[in-house]
Chains A and B, each alone.
Chain A
Amino acid sequence: MPPSQLKQLKSSLRESGVLAPQQSKKQKRQNAKTGAAAQGRAQRNAALQAIRDRFNPFEIKTAAPHRKFDVTTRDSGSNATAPRVRPGVTKSVGEEKRRQTLLRDMNRRNKVGGIMDRRFGEDDPNMTPEEKAAERFARESQRKMRKDSMFNLEDDDDDDEEFQLTHMGQTLSFGGGMNEDFAERDLEEEEGDLSDSELPRKRKRNLEGEDDDEDASLYDLDDGEGDEEQPERKKSKQEVMKEVIEKSKFYKYERQKAKEDDDDLREELDKGLPDLFDMLRGIQPPPKPEPPKDDLATMNPDRAALLEGAADGDKEREYDQRLKELTFDKRSQPTDRTKTAEEKVEEEAQRLKTLEEERLRRMRGEELSEEESEEDESDDNDDEGGEIEMLDDESIPDDAATFGLQQSTGQTARPDLAVEDEDDFIIDDDLVESRSNASLSFDESDLEDSSAEESEDAKEEEEDELINGFTIPGLGSGKAATATSETQETSQGLAYTYPCPGSHDEFLQIIEHVPIQDLPTVVQRIRALHHPRLHSDNKVKLSRFAAVLVEHVAYMAEQPEHPPFAVVENILRHIHSLAKAYPESVSQAFRSHLRGMAADRPLSLRPGDLVILTAVAAIFPTSDHFHAIATPAHLCLARYLGQGGVDTLTDFAAGAYAASLGLQYQAISKRYIPEFINYILNALCNLAPTSPKRNLGSFPSRTPKESLRLKPSKKLTPRKLQFWDTTNPASTPQAQEELKLSLITTFTTLLGTASDLWADNSAYAEIFEPAQKVLRHVQQSCQGKVPASIKDTFQSTLDKIEQHGSEARLARRPLLLHSHRPLAIKTAIPKFEESFNPDKHYDPNRERADMARLKTELKRERKGAMRELRKDANFIAREQLRDKRDRDAEYEKKYKRLVAEVQNQEGRESNAYEKEKRLRKGQR
C-alpha cells in the first residue's frame, strides 16, 4: 500500500527542496545580496506548481482504467502511450478564448457604433515602435504579394528568387538586415565591455539565438514561401516533413553550438581560477578581464566565423550569389546553328516520313482496334442499348499516337508548308503599297500598339505568316484592316479591302458585283487583310470566314451558271490552307453540311454535295480508320450508292461520280465498299442492251421505272463523263445514247480500278465473280455493235479481273484466325490484406468508402459543434448569472449604504434630540 497523500506530499516537497532546513540569518542576507534568493523563489514556485499538478488527480486525464485485449484491437498498444490530456488546461484555454470572443460579443450586443482600432500592434504594449513598423511593412508587402492582381508580376511562387532585387549579384533586403544585426552586435559588445558579470554572456546567447532564428526564417523564405507569405495555402505533407527535419537539424546544431560555447566559457573560467584564488588571498587583481572579443581568437576559426554574425552573413550571401549565377547560367543557351540547305531538305523529308507513318498508323487504327473490341464486349455485357453506346464511344478514337501527332502538326508542320503553296497566294506589291499610303493619316498610338503587340507575339506569328507564304507588311495592312470597313474601288474594278464576312449572306453581299473569275483574288485579299498577326480578333474572324467559304463552295456548285472548276478548286485550296490553321471551324462547317445532306436529301445528292464530298477527299485524310468527317462522308456516299435513285441517266451519272469518289476515298487504305460493287453491277445490268436471263450474283437488283438500256450502234463514240452530267439531262437521243455508252465505259473502268484496289482482299473471288458475269453479259449483249475502244475496255477489264482472280486463287489458304494462346483459367484466390486492422475500413468500393469517411467526419464535426455550442451556452449563462450577481451585489451595497446613511442620520438626529432633551431637562 502506498503511503498516504500527506506523507507523499511531504516527501515530494522535501525532494524538490522546498522544505529545506532553515537557513541562518547570515546565509539569508548573503543570498539576498547575490540574488540567489530571488532565483530560489522562482525555482520554488515552479517546483510547487509541478507538485500541485502531480497531486491533483483531475489535472491530467489518464488512460481508461480497463484495458482492451491486444488481440481485439491494435490500438491498445497506442492506448498506453496515448497523449496525456490536461482537461483543466484545455478548459481554461477554451474559457479564455470565449472570454476573448463571445464575451466581447455579448458585451457589444445591442450597442451601435464605436471605433475599431485596426492598426497593427497598437494595443500590444510589448512591442517596440521599430517592431511595429517592421511588422506593418511586412503586412503591406504581404498584401502586395497576394495573387489578387493579374498584372502583379512578382507573385510567381517558384520564381521568387528570380524576382528578388539584386545588385551586383547581391540580395538587396529590406528591414531584416544583416546591417542592423551587425549594428546591434556592436552595441551589445559595447555593453559587454561595460559590465563584467554573466549578463553579456546571456545576452549574447540570446542574440545568437535570434540571429539563427532569422536565418531560419530567411531559409524558409527561400525554400518556397514561408507561412507568412501565403497564409491561406496549406502546406503539403512533404513540405511539412521537410520543415520539421530542417528545424530539428537546426536545433541540433544550435544545441551543439551552445554546448561548445559553454565548454569554451568554462575553460576560460577555469583559466581565471588561479586569479580568483589570488584575489581571495588578497592579492591585487589583474588590471582587467579580457574582453570577450578575444575569445574568438582562442576558438576554432570556423566556429569563430560562425559566431561572428557578419562573417556568417557574408558566407551565406556568397552562396546565394553563386547559386544565382548558376541559375542564370542555365538560361543562356547557345542559339541553334543556321542549317544548311541539305540539312533542311533532309529534315523536310524526315518530317514528311513521320507524317506519312502517322497517317498509316491512323489508317490501320491499330491501337484502336483492341479498345474497340474490348468496348464491344464490355458494352454488350449490359445488354440494353450496348451497341448504341459502343457506336457512340467508337466515334472518337482515343489513342495516344494520334494525339501526339496533332500536337506535332500544330508545331512542326507549319513552317514547312510555306514551300508547298508559296506560289499560291502572293499579294501584289502595289496593293500593299497603295494601302500603306492610303492610311498615312493614322495616328501614332495605334502604330505603337500594334508594334508592341507584334513584338510580343512575334514568335508564334512567324509560323502563321509562313503558312500563306506571303509576307505582309504588318503595320500598314494592320492599319488598313482596322481602319477600313468600306471597300475602296480601284481601276481594275476590284476593291483592295473587303470586310471579313461573318455569315454566308454577308459574303454574298460582298461578292455581289465581283466577277466569278476574281473570286479567288477577293478571298485572298480578305485573308491577307485579316491576317491573325494584324489583330487579335482576326483569328476568330478568319475561322468564321473559313466556314463561310465551305458553305459558299456548295452554294457555287448549285448555281445554274456553272462556275469554272478552276475557281472552285482555288477556293477549296484556300479552305484547305485555312483548315490547317482553324481545323475546328472548318470541320464543323463540313460536318454541318453533311448533317444537312443526310437529313434532307440523302438519296438525291446535289452537285454542291458532290463538290463537298470531293473536297472532303482532298482536305481530310480519308484513309484514316476513323475520321470525324471522312467517315460520315463515306457513309453518306455509300448510302447514296446503296439506296439512291436509279431512274434517270443523271441519277446514274451522279452514282458513277459517287462511286468514283468512293474509290478515291479508299485509294490508299483499300477498304472494301459493298455498296460500290452492288451499285456498279446493278447499273451495268440496267444499262446493258438486253436484260440478263438469270440472276448474275447476289447483288440486289433495282430497276429504273423506264428502261434506260443502250441501243448499241457503231456510230456512238464514248466520251469522258462530265461533272455536269450529274444534273443536266442529255438533250438529244443521240447524246443520251452517248451518255449511256460513256457510263458503261466508266463503270467498267471503275470495276477494273476496284479490282486492282482489292486484289489482295481474301474474298476477291467471291466479290468479283458476279462482276465477271455481268461484264460478260454486257459484252455479249452489245454483240460487237460498239466501237472498238469499248470492246478493248471490256476485254482488258475482264482480263484484269481474271488475272487477279487466278492470283487470289493461288494465294488462298484455309483460314487460320484462331491461333490464339489458350486462355488461362481465372484464379479465384481470395484477396488477403497484409497487416489487417479491424478498425480500418477496407471497402473496395472507393465511392462508398469515401462516403463513409465523409459521414464519420460529419458526425464528428457535428458532435464537436454541438459540444462547442453547449459550452458557449453554459458560458453565456454563467456570464449572465455573474452579471446579475454583480448587479445584485451592487444594488445590495448601494441599498446598504443608503440604509446605513439613513440610520446614521437618524442616529445623529436622535443623538441630537437626546442631547437637546437632556439640555432642556437640564435647564429645567
Chain B
Amino acid sequence: MARLVSEPVSSKKRKIPKDSGAPSSKRRVVAEADSDNAMAKVLELEEQISESRKYYNNIATLLSMLNTDGPVVKPNLAVAVSLCRVFSRLLAGGNLSETERAAENEKIVAAWLRERCREYQRALVTILREADPSSQVTALTLCMRLLSERATHIHGDDIQVWTSGLFKNVVEGLIEAKDGEVLRSEFSEKFLKPYEDVRYYTFTQVADYAATQRTPEILDTVFSILSACDTVPEPDHEFEEFYTKPSQNHKKVLSVNAHKKRAQDAWLAVLRNNLSQSQRKTLLRIMAHTIEPWFTRPELLMDFLTDSYNVGGATSLLALSGLFYLIQEKNLDYPQFYQKLYSLLDADLLHSKHRSRFFRQMTNFLSSTHLPASLVASFIKRLSRLALNAPPTAIVVIVPFIYNFLKNHPTCSFMLHRVVRDGEFKSQLESEGMDDPFDPEETDPTRTNALESSLWELEALQSHYHPNVAAICRIVSEQFTKQWYSLEDFLDYTYQGMVQAELGVEAKPLKRIPVVEYQIPKRIFTDRQLEEDGGQDTAPGSLLRGLWDFS
C-alpha cells in the first residue's frame, strides 16, 4: 500500500534528480563518474532493501550518500527520495515499532532502524534549512510524507510527531531557512491552507517558537506564516480536511475553540516579542482583518494596543481603532483617550497618508452626542487652526467634518455666531478689539476655552485660492439646512486628482472660452519702457520683477 501511495511522489521526484541532482552528483565525493550509474545504483540498493532484511545496511550506505554534514547546497535528492520510500515501506510494515513479544535481535534491528530514521529526519531538516529552494521544497514534501506515515503507523506517535517530534523541527526549519520564500509559500499553499490539522499544529509550534525573543527578520517570517492563515473558522465549523487521520484520543483538533486558542497564543507570543517600530505598524495595520478575529478574548490585546497608542505619531493613529473597539466592547478603561486623541491633531496629521483613515475613525469616536460641548469645541477649533496650514485636499475634509460636528452639538454653533449683549464687553471690543480666547497650548481638550472663541480660520479660508475649496468653506456661513455631509465623499482627494478634475486627461474643447486679460502688460520680465512710467514700476507683475533678476 505504501508503495502505491508513494508512487506519484517518486515518479514526480525522479524528474528532479535529472534536472538538478545529476550535475551535483559530479561534484560529490561519493559520486560515480556517470549520473545514470548513480541512479541505477540507488535504485538497486533500494530494491535490495525491500527484498530482504539482510540488506538493511544499504540504508546506512544511502544515508552516507546523502551525507549532509558539510555545507549542503545541492543535496542528492534521488537518494533522499528513495530513502523516503524505504522508510515509508518499513513504517507501513511495522518494522520500526517494537512489540513486547519480539525477539531480542528484532528489538535491536527496530532500534537500529529508528536510529537511522532519526538520522534521515535530521538530514532532511538540514536540507530544509540550508539547501537551494527547489531542494528545500522537495525536502519539505518528503518530511511531510514521512510525518504522515509515522502518524499513521506508529501507535502513540501520532500526537508526539506533531507536537515535539519531526514537525517541530520542520516548522523551525521553515522559519529559519535561508532564502525560504519559495519554501514558505509552498508550505502555506500545499499544507497550511488546505489542511486544518497542519494549521493547528503550526500555531502550536509558532507559539512555542516565539515564546523566546527573536530577531526582527525571523519575526517578519513568522508574521508572513501567521498572516497566511487569515480565514477564521466559524463557530459551527466542521473540520474535515486533515493531513493525517486524527486519532480517537485527540479531540482538540476538532474543536474551533482549540484552534482559536492556538492562534491566539501564537499571535500573543509574537506580539510580546521585541518588535521594531515598523513591525508594530504592520501588525496594527493587519490587526482588524487578520489578527483580531482569531482572538477569543480580545482584551488580551489591550497591553499591546495601549503601548502602541502611547508611542505617538502614526503608530498611535493605527492603534486607535483597536483600542476604541476595546473601550466600546470590552469595557476597557482608558481615561486619557480623548486627550490623547486631541494631542494627535498636530501639524503633520493633515499631511500624512493616514489622514483619511484617521478622519474615518474620528467620526466614530466623536459621534456620541453625550460628549461635552467644550471638548467638541476644542476639536473643532484645533482642526480649523490646522486647516490654515493644510493642503486643499485636507480642507475639503475638515469643513464638512466640522459642519457635522456643529450640527450634532448645537451649543458649539456659538463659535460661528455670537451676539455680544454685554454692554461692558461691547465697549471693550470697540476700544481694544479682542484676542482669540482659545488656548492652543492646553493639552486637555475640555479646558482650552474653545467654546468662547470663534472660527475665524474658516472664514479666512472662504477666500482660499481654489474656488472649490472656498465654496466648501462657505457652507459654514450658509444656513444649516442639510442634515449632515457624508464624509466619505470628501476623503481621499489628492492634488493630482484635483488638477486632473480641472484639466481633464486629454484636450477637450472648452465649454466656454476663457477670458484673456484685456490689457497686454507693458513688461513681464524686463524694464521695458520704464521711463514712460516715470521710472516707477507699478504695472501688473511688479512684485515679481522687484524680487527677481531676469537676465
- Measured CB to CB, the residues of A under 8 A from B are 355, 362, 365, 368-369, 372-373, 376-377, 380, 383-388, 390-392, 394-397, 402-403, 405-406, 409, 413, 417, 420-421, 564-566, 568-569, 572-573, 576-577, 579-580, 583-584, 586-588, 591-592, 594-595, 598, 602, 614-615, 617-621, 624-629, 631-632, 634-636, 638-639, 642-643, 656-657, 660-667, 669-675, 677-678, 695, 697-701, 719-723, 746, 749-750, 753, 761-767, 808-820, 823
- Residues of B near A617 (CB, < 8 A) are 540-541, 544
B105 at the interface (CB under 8 A from A): no
Q: How far is the CA of A577 from the CA of B470 in the complex (A)?
A: 32
Closest-CB distance, A215 to chain B (whole angstroms):
53
Residue of A nearest to B525 (CB): A565
Given A576-B520, A674-B391, A698-B388, answer yes or no on A766-B457 (Cβ-Cβ < 8 Å).
Answer: yes
Closest-CB distance, B272 to chain A (whole angstroms):
35
> When each residue 204-228 of chain B gets 1 if its CB lies under 8 Å from chain A and 0 otherwise, what string results?
0000000000000000000000000
- Residues of B near A638 (CB, < 8 A) are 391-392, 465-466, 495
The dominant DSSP class at the B interface is loop
Given A620-B515, A665-B465, answer yes or no on A386-B389 (Cβ-Cβ < 8 Å).
Answer: no
Closest-CB distance, B29 to chain A (whole angstroms):
54
B520 x A677 contact (CB < 8 A): no
Of A618, A661, A678, which one neighbours B517 at CB under 8 angstroms? A618
Surface stretch bound by A, among B172-180, B246-254, B430-438 = B430-438
- Residues of A near B231 (CB, < 8 A) are none
Of A397, A678, A722, A766, which one neighbours B456 at CB under 8 angstroms? A766
Q: How far is the CA of A569 from the CA of B545 in the complex (A)?
A: 12
A569 x B465 contact (CB < 8 A): no
Given A627-B515, A700-B348, A762-B456, answer yes or no on A635-B520 (Cβ-Cβ < 8 Å).
Answer: no
Lowest 3 A-B CB distances belong to which pairs?
A763-B460, A810-B433, A818-B417
Residue of A nearest to B484 (CB): A380
- Residues of A near B466 (CB, < 8 A) are 631, 634-635, 638
- Residues of A near B386 (CB, < 8 A) are 698
- Residues of A near B467 (CB, < 8 A) are 365, 368, 372, 394, 397, 625-626, 631
B473-531, CB < 8 A from A:
474-482, 485-486, 488-490, 495-496, 498-507, 509-521, 523-526, 528
A678 x B389 contact (CB < 8 A): yes
- Measured CB to CB, the residues of B under 8 A from A are 346-348, 350-351, 385-392, 395-396, 413, 415-420, 429, 432-436, 454-457, 459-461, 463-468, 470-472, 474-482, 485-486, 488-490, 495-496, 498-507, 509-521, 523-526, 528, 540-541, 543-544, 547-551
Closest-CB distance, B500 to chain A (whole angstroms):
7
Given A569-B524, A588-B507, answer yes or no on A664-B543 (Cβ-Cβ < 8 Å).
Answer: yes
B436 x A619 contact (CB < 8 A): no
Chosen A-B contacts, 5 in total, with CB atoms closer than 8 Å, are A602-B499, A632-B503, A660-B547, A669-B463, A811-B433
Closest-CB distance, A8 to chain B (whole angstroms):
79
Of B499, B509, B511, B525, which one neighbours A635 at CB under 8 angstroms? B499
Of B465, B509, B521, B528, which one neighbours A666 at CB under 8 angstroms? B465
B520 x A421 contact (CB < 8 A): yes
- Residues of A near B347 (CB, < 8 A) are 695, 697-701
Residue of B nearest to A719 (CB): B549
Residue of B nearest to A667 (CB): B543
Q: How far is the CA of A677 from the CA of B550 in the complex (A)?
A: 25
Of B436, B464, B488, B515, which one neighbours A409 at CB under 8 angstroms? B515
Given A376-B475, A674-B390, A721-B548, answer yes or no on A598-B500 (Cβ-Cβ < 8 Å).
Answer: yes
Of B479, B486, B514, B520, which one neighbours A583 at CB under 8 angstroms? B514
A387 x B490 contact (CB < 8 A): yes
B547 x A406 contact (CB < 8 A): no
Q: How far is the CA of A618 from the CA of B525 in the complex (A)?
A: 10
Given A620-B514, A746-B547, A823-B479, answer yes or no on A387-B489 (Cβ-Cβ < 8 Å).
Answer: yes
- Residues of A near B389 (CB, < 8 A) are 674, 677-678, 697-700
- Residues of B near A403 (CB, < 8 A) are 512
B496 x A602 contact (CB < 8 A): yes
B516 x A579 contact (CB < 8 A): yes
A621 x B482 contact (CB < 8 A): no
Closest-CB distance, A414 to chain B (whole angstroms):
10
Q: How far is the CA of A327 from the CA of B547 in the complex (A)?
A: 66
Residue of B nearest to A665 (CB): B465
B517 x A619 contact (CB < 8 A): yes
Closest-CB distance, A642 to chain B (whole angstroms):
5
Q: How far is the CA of A449 from the CA of B438 in the complex (A)?
A: 79
Of B477, B504, B524, which one neighbours A572 at CB under 8 angstroms? B524
For A372, A396, A615, the residue with the greatest tally of chain B CB atoms inside 10 Å of its CB is A372
Given A566-B528, A700-B348, A815-B455, answer yes or no on A392-B501 (Cβ-Cβ < 8 Å).
Answer: yes
A814 x B433 contact (CB < 8 A): no
- Residues of B near A395 (CB, < 8 A) are 501-502
Of A587, A672, A817, which one neighbours B417 at CB under 8 angstroms? A817
Q: How far is the CA of A533 from the CA of B510 in the complex (A)?
A: 26
Of B388, B510, B512, B547, which one neighbours A674 at CB under 8 angstroms? B388
- Residues of A near B504 (CB, < 8 A) are 595
Q: How far is the CA of A265 from the CA of B238 in the complex (A)?
A: 120
- Residues of A near B512 (CB, < 8 A) are 396, 402-403, 406, 628
- Residues of A near B503 (CB, < 8 A) are 591, 594-595, 598, 632
Closest-CB distance, B401 to chain A (whole angstroms):
13
Q: How far is the CA of A767 from the CA of B385 in the complex (A)?
A: 9
Closest-CB distance, B103 to chain A (whole angstroms):
79
Given A812-B456, A815-B454, answer yes or no on A621-B515 (Cβ-Cβ < 8 Å).
Answer: yes
Of B348, B475, B523, which one neighbours A569 at CB under 8 angstroms? B523
Q: How far is the CA of A670 from the CA of B465 in the complex (A)?
A: 9
Q: How far is the CA of A723 from the CA of B519 in the complex (A)?
A: 25
Of B475, B479, B502, B543, which one neighbours A663 at CB under 8 angstroms? B543
- Residues of A near B481 (CB, < 8 A) are 377, 823
B465 x A673 contact (CB < 8 A): yes
A573 x B517 contact (CB < 8 A): no
Of B396, B474, B513, B541, which one neighbours A406 at CB under 8 angstroms? B513
Closest-CB distance, A524 to chain B (whole angstroms):
14
Residue of A nearest to B453 (CB): A814
A816 x B419 contact (CB < 8 A): yes
Q: How far is the CA of A671 from the CA of B395 in the complex (A)?
A: 15
Q: How far is the CA of A749 from the CA of B544 in the complex (A)?
A: 11
Of B388, B510, B513, which one neighbours A766 at CB under 8 angstroms? B388
Closest-CB distance, A595 to chain B (whole angstroms):
5
A sample of 9 more A-B contacts (CB under 8 A), given A383-B488, A388-B489, A579-B516, is A391-B501, A576-B516, A592-B507, A598-B503, A619-B516, A632-B499, A638-B465, A762-B456, A817-B459
A618 x B541 contact (CB < 8 A): yes
Q: How far is the CA of A823 from the CA of B454 in the complex (A)?
A: 24
A749 x B385 contact (CB < 8 A): no
A814 x B420 contact (CB < 8 A): yes
- Residues of B near A643 (CB, < 8 A) are 495
Of A369, A383, A396, A660, which one neighbours B471 at CB under 8 angstroms? A369
Closest-CB distance, B148 to chain A (whole angstroms):
53
- Residues of A near B432 (CB, < 8 A) are 809-810
Q: How far is the CA of A235 from the CA of B464 in the complex (A)?
A: 56
- Residues of B near A762 (CB, < 8 A) are 456, 459-460
- Residues of B near A409 (CB, < 8 A) are 515-516, 518
Given A617-B541, A627-B515, answer yes or no on A818-B502 (Cβ-Cβ < 8 Å).
Answer: no
Closest-CB distance, A756 to chain B (whole angstroms):
10
Q: How far is the CA of A120 from the CA of B551 in the complex (A)?
A: 86
Of B463, B509, B518, which one neighbours A670 at CB under 8 angstroms? B463
Q: How far is the CA of A428 from the CA of B510 in the complex (A)?
A: 38
Q: How far is the CA of A816 from the CA of B479 in the complex (A)?
A: 12
Q: How far is the CA of A365 from the CA of B486 in the complex (A)?
A: 26
Residue of B nearest to A750 (CB): B547
Residue of B nearest to A562 (CB): B551
B475 x A720 contact (CB < 8 A): no
A587 x B510 contact (CB < 8 A): yes
- Residues of A near B415 (CB, < 8 A) are 815
